Amino acid sequence: MSLETTDYNLSLIDKFMEEFERRRSIIASFIRNRGRVSFRDFVWANLYHPDAGYYVKGDVEIMSSEPYDDFEVGKIRHAAIKCAVEDMFESGEVITLNYLGDEKKIRKGFEGVVVADEYFTSLPFHIVKNRKKVCVEYDGDFKEVLDELDDLEEFLDYAQPYIKANSFAVCTDAVKKAEEIASKIEEGYMLVIDYGLPVEEYYTRKLRLACFSRGSFSHNPYTSAGKRAISAPVDFTAIIEAAEREEMVVTGFTSYRYFLLNTIGKDESEEPSSFKSIAMPVTLKVLVMQKGIRWRKLKCLQSVPTFGYWIKYNKNLDFRDFSDGLSYG
C-alpha cells in the first residue's frame, strides 16, 4: 500500500511539528526557569500544564493512522462497567454514579459508586533509581539527575521488604487521591480499573514507562515530551492502604479478564468472540472497595484468581458470610 503525499498532507505535518515544538518549548521553559524539577513535576508539565499538557490541550498527532484506544475495546469496557455498576445498584443501597475525572467534584458524604477507569495512571509520578530520586534539568535537551529521596523515604518504608528492582515508579499522587476520594464516600463502592501491581510484585519488576498518543507509542519520556502522555503502573497495595485509612475495605481484587468474564462473558471455556482477541496485559486489574454497606457477592467478583497474592487480597470473598446482612466498612 502506498501513501500519496499531497500539499494537504504536508500542511498537516507542518502544523503537527509546529504544535509539537511549541509544547516542547513550554515544558523546557518550565524546567529551565526552576533549574531542576522532580520527575513527577516533569510528568505533570507533560500531562497538565495549562498551555502544553496532553490532557489539557489534546492529542498533537493529527496524522495518526488508527486510534490508540480502539473503539471496539472501549465499547466492551463500557458494557462491562455498566453491568458491574447496575449489579451494585441492585441492592438499593447505592443510587448515584460518578465517573471519576476530578475527585473535587465528589462531595463529602457521597453515596453511590465512584468509577476510576484508568484514572490513577493518568496522574504524575516519581521515579526512584538506585535509591535516589530522579530529577530533570534542561540544557538544550532533557537530562536526568539523581537527588536524595527526601519525603519519598518515608513513603517507601512499607515497601522495603519487597524492593528488589533498581528503578521503579512511586505514585504519591495516586495515594493522595485515593485517600481523598475514600474520605468523601459515606456509603458505596469505589471501582478501580487500571494498570498496576500489588506491592508483592510492583517493586521487583523492571520499570517500563508507557508514552502514548492516539497514533504512536514509546518507552522514552524525554523524546515524548510535548507529544505523548506519560504513564507508569500504579501500586495497588498503596491505593488500598490509602483508602483503608478512610475506613474503606477491599471487596475484591481481580484481573481484567476475569472482570469481563464475570460481567459480559459466559465462562472461561466460552469467551465471547467480541473480546477473545483483545490484548489484556497482566498489569490491567480491577479493584473494588466499599464503605458503610452490607457485604454482597458482586457479579463482577463471582470468579477471581485463586493463587499467589490474589488469595491475600480476596480473603473477604472467602471468609465473609454474605447473607448475614451486616454492614462492614
Question: Which structural domains are found in the chain, ordered by start?
Answer: 7-328 (3.40.50.12710)
Name the DSSP class of 267: B
In this prediction, residue 24 carries a pLDDT of 94
- Give the largest CA-CA distance in the chain: 71
Residue entry with cell 538544550: 140
> Which pLDDT value is given to residue 227?
87
Instruction: Write down the pTM of the prediction.
Output: 0.86
Residues of the chain with pLDDT under 70: 1-13, 59-72, 91-95, 100-103, 266-280, 318-329
Q: How many CB atoms lie within 10 A of CB 69?
A: 10
| Res 286: pLDDT | 98
Round to whole Å and give the CA distance between 147 and 124.
18
- Whether residue 259 contacts residue 77, with contact meaning beta carbons closer than 8 Å, is answered with no
- 15-19: which pairs have CB atoms within 8 A and are 24 or more residues apart? 15/62, 16/60, 16/61, 16/62, 16/63, 19/60
Alpha-carbon distance of 44 to 24, in angstroms, equals: 13
User: pLDDT at position 65, please?
Assistant: 38
CB 169 within 8 A of CB 232: yes
